[in-house]
Structure 1
Amino acid sequence: MKIHLILWPAIALLSLMQAVAQNVKRQTDKHIVHQQERMVFKQWDRKKFTPTKGFLGLNYQYWLTWAWHPNYPKTDLRPLSASGPQTQRLLLVAAMKNTEEAYKKHADTLRNTALTETVNYAGAVSATDPLWQLYYKHEFHPLLQSNGPSALDGTEPTVRDYLTRTGALDWYLEETRTLAERLEGARTTNLDRGSRIIAYHRMLDEYRKLSSMWETKKQRAKLYLSLTKTNENVRQSGQAVTVPPGRTDSQIADDVLSKSKL
């Protein structure tokens, strides 16, 4: 019973407070409303600087309010006005954004230029050069994979023995080794791409000349061994080879070869 006696008065008091709160009427001051509109979004209208002077300027409220601030109605203090601080801040933010984008674009250009120059000069990435991959890698493959046995591929055992014994094979291997070292230096050295390609071209020309000389040596060694064997066979058979006067060396060689067929 005591609890009910306490709760009922409390509930009645709350209901009364809610009813009073709902009956509160919002009071607005037009002077404050005008000031809020001026400062936020509307035009700085001097006609709305209330209270006004009134008839013959006899409104004492005007003089009590604006006599202390005579320049206030003439000065536009809106933050979003053409010259307001908020407008200036927004313009400054936009200008700073444009400057930032310009700096970023300039930095990206410098980065791309630096990467391009690095790719053009760095020897560490020379293996990725398209011209090397498409052409020079294939042309220099025999040079990079050259060794002693492969240099004598396709030759007869007697020719191999002769080239090895006379030092021709050592000469060829030394030349190819030197050329391979120069090629490796051109690939790994930090060098302008154009100069690197020119170095490839020159060394490829030297390698082709060296390969041609080596093939010529092998052919000449084979011919020399063939002529030597023919001469030995002629000596053992006791046949004399007469050399008519005025014959050329090629005609003499043809006569020797014809004798070997008998």
Structure 2
Amino acid sequence: MEQLFKKGKFFLLLFVITNVFGQSVKRLNDPSIVAQHKRMVFESWGDWRPYPKYFLGIQTNFAYATVWGMWAPNINRDYKEGNDIRPLKPTGEQNLRFTQLKYEEEEAKKIKATSDTIYKRSVQDFAHWTSATVDADPLWLLYYKHMLKPITEFPDTPQSFMEWRLKDQQTYETLNTTGTLKRMQEELDLIKEKYSMSRNMDMPRGKRFIMYHETLIRWRKFVQELRGYNNRTTLLLDYKNILKNHLSTALPSGWTPASDKQIVQNVMQQYQHKY
């Protein structure tokens, strides 16, 4: 009995497997579903299956009445009577999304190109802004390094006529007595400070070279003025020495200047018999 029961279970399982895998799969082709697919893509807006059927003016198609007709939900009737909402039509939402996505991709490429350009320009500008790279600038190496070198070689606080590049000690004392050297020292401090700022501060390359140029112009005026004072003081001292030597040889020894009274008496005696 037990063996018979096992054989029955085996034949039952074999029958089920034969029915499941032995039958061919049939393709479902529902016209209403096909029409829905056409509406949801680009093909056409319409073909409202199932179609209505009338008998003596009475709707006899129950499927139509429940899907699109009087018994259909309001949302179905609004959908049928509403606007064309195909997402893949030329102006559909999906095509608009694709178009917008393409536009955003192009804009992203432009933004990336712009950001890359800005980044590269920022790196280049930083190389010109920072004071760490001023010694490598070609214009500095070719021109301003040589032209501004005398400023660094000139002492910060000159204390002798040699440091001031003057002719002699007497010229130095004359300019120091008149206060000229004090004013020249203030001008020298301003020139050296401007030079130091142009070399050590972070600034645009163009502004840095403007400061170089202004410093160079101011330094040339300083040197020219110092040379002029040097020449005028030397000339004044030469005239003074010439005049001193001339007066010492032209006047007799022991000569003393006459008083005002004596001068008047001499003039009266000279012209008393002429008039």
Q: Which interval holds the TM-score relative to the shorter structure?
A: 0.3 to 0.5
Greater C-alpha radius of gyration: 2
Flag the structure with higher helix content: 1
TM-score, normalised to structure 2, is 0.46
TM-score, normalised to structure 1, is 0.48
Higher relative contact order (CA 8 A, sep 6+): 1
